[in-house]
Each structure stands twice: as C-alpha cells, then as structure tokens.
Homo-oligomer: A and B are copies of this chain.
Amino acid sequence: MINIALLGFGVVGGGVASVIDTNRAIIEERLADRINIKYILDLREFPGNKYEKNIVHSIDTILNDPEVTVVAEMMGGVHPAADFTEACLRAGKSVVTSNKAVVADCGDKLLSLAAEKGVRYLFEASVGGGIPVLRTLINDLSSNEILSIRGILNGTTNYILTEMSEKGAAYADVLKDAQRLGYAEADPTADVAGFDAARKIVILAALAWGKLLPLEKVDITGITGVTADDIKAAYSDGCSIKLIAKAEKNADGEIKLSVAPTKVPGCELLSSVNGVFNAVEITGNMLGTAVFYGRGAGRDATASAVVSDIIDAAEKKFAYPPRLRWTRG
C-alpha cells in the first residue's frame, strides 16, 4: 500500500483526490500496488466530504507518520509551502508539487535536499498543467543541447488576447468578462503583468541548462498595454499577438529570459494556440523544433500531472538527473 498525503484541499488538491478516485484501477495497475490518501492538510474542515476524516491541521501528523512516503504540495505561495516541503524531504518523504512559486524561488535547495535524502522532488504540474513538458525536456531530449525555448505559458493572458483578437474588443472589457467567467482572478496582476509566465520560463530554463535565475533577471512586459488597434495591425501583417515567454542561451553561454507581447506569424504553430490553451516550443541542436500543446491550467489537467508525479515518486524509478542540481544564476 502506498500512503500519500495532500497539502492543500483547494481546486488542485480536490482534483488530485478526484483523479485518484476516478482512475484508481489504472493507477494501481501501474503501481502494482494500492494507493491510499491517508491525510489531507488544510486549515478548513470538510464536513460531508468523502475525505472528511482524513483532514488534519498540523504538518507534524504527516511528518511523524513513517507510512506516508509521498506528499503532494498544492498550497500555493512560497510560505509555508516551501517550509513544509523542506520538512517532508528531511523526513525522507518524496514531494511532488504544482506550486511554481516554490520551484522558481527555491527549487535548487529542494532538489539538492531531495538528492541528499534519496527521495524525489518532482514538479511537472508547475508549468503547463496539461502539457507534459518538463519530463520531456529531461528524458526525451536528453541527447540534445537545448538552444531555445519559447512558449505561451499563461492561459489567462492568452484567453484575453484571443478574445480581443476575435471580437475586436478592448483590453479592459475582455478582462472584465474573463473575471466574470473565472478565467482571470479578481487581482489579475500576476497573470496580466507577466509574472506567472516569467516564473514558468525560469523553471524551464533551469531544466534546460541547470541554472536557476531569479525573477528579477527576466525582462518582463505584460499585456496591459496591448490595444485592439495593435492586434488589428498585426492581423493585417498575417500575425497574431501572443504573450511569448522566451529562453535562449547565447554563444557566451549567457541565458536570456524574457516575457513580452510578440507578433507571431500565422505560419508558426504558436499563432494558432488560442483561448486558455498553452504551448511550449523547444529547439534542440539535433532534434530541431518540437511543440507541445495542451491545457495550461484547469483542475483535472493539473491534477493529472500531479498524480503522474505521485506515481513516479512512489515507483522511485524516475529521478531528475544530476544536471538538475541547479546552481543559482
């Protein structure tokens, strides 16, 4: 029996429980073992919920139970998520996460701690929830020198730009609609100012080149200045405007990261990525260019990535390679 704990029972945490319950047969066949959600850490109670009795309020309950071998952190924010992660790794438990803030902020420390303790720290769900791109970078492109990465990494801004383009509407009006539909948060800053995409390109670059750059090194322009006229003008040149996050290593080995609204020619696949979908384009020196496309967010897609990481952490067959002992850039 594989006993796991969930930290956070919000949208993603609830999704993880639901993916495990829905696909239990497939997951247990894969694990060749049973899987049990033993604890769910949350500040709230969940009366009437199937997992009501599994709710705990102290991380110590989880830390002190040697039966729990894998912990899925889906709390959001850097603290206390990072502290709980560190405590779990120190206690010899593998941790998987959807929390990009923690990975971008202290992924280097957590990866070396995991390596030291012989456990896993996996974070497929932190970038492009429904796009299995992190392990692809690690595994399938392992024979390539990565030359560049470009992506549409934020669903909210891509939805807004798509709507502005299709309806000829103004930014402020589309944002209001997006907030009403739940595609944008009440305070949309992290998305529209480009910080969310910036954290994700930091993680992708660290996977590609082993160097974790601070957010301040990313040249960030959000979409708040994009007008309906800009989009019309781009369209008449056969282009779309997309919020493109970009990572490149130049000839001197220097890594350049940026996020900015960019004119993308209609002949490029990225120009056809619309609505809340995301895509990541990776160019390797041997592979050429490959593009990975899927839902960037959404409960089930993100939860599905977390559960795939739980399976890998439980099997202990997959580990990020030594190159992933990230250094700070």
* Chain A residues near B (Cβ < 8 Å): 19-20, 22-23, 26-27, 29-30, 32, 124, 130-132, 135-136, 139-145, 269, 272-273, 284-295, 298, 300-301, 303-305, 307-308, 310-312, 317-319, 321-323
Contact = CB atoms under 8 A, between A and B. Distances in A.
A233 to B, nearest CB: 22
A68 to B, nearest CB: 19
A286 B19 contact: yes
Contacts of A140: 124, 132, 135-136, 305, 308
Given A30-B321, A272-B272, A318-B318, A143 B290 contact: no
Contacts of A139: 132, 135, 139, 308, 312, 318
Contacts of A132: 136, 139-141, 290
A22 B284 CA distance: 12
A231 to B, nearest CB: 18
Contacts of A308: 139-143
Closest 10 CB pairs of A and B: A132-B140, A290-B294, A143-B307, A286-B304, A291-B293, A286-B300, A287-B304, A143-B308, A142-B308, A272-B272
A150 B19 CA distance: 23
Given A145-B26, A308-B142, A287 B294 contact: yes
A17 B312 CA distance: 31
A56 to B, nearest CB: 24
A161 B131 CA distance: 28
A293 B317 contact: no
Given A29-B323, A272-B269, A289 B294 contact: yes
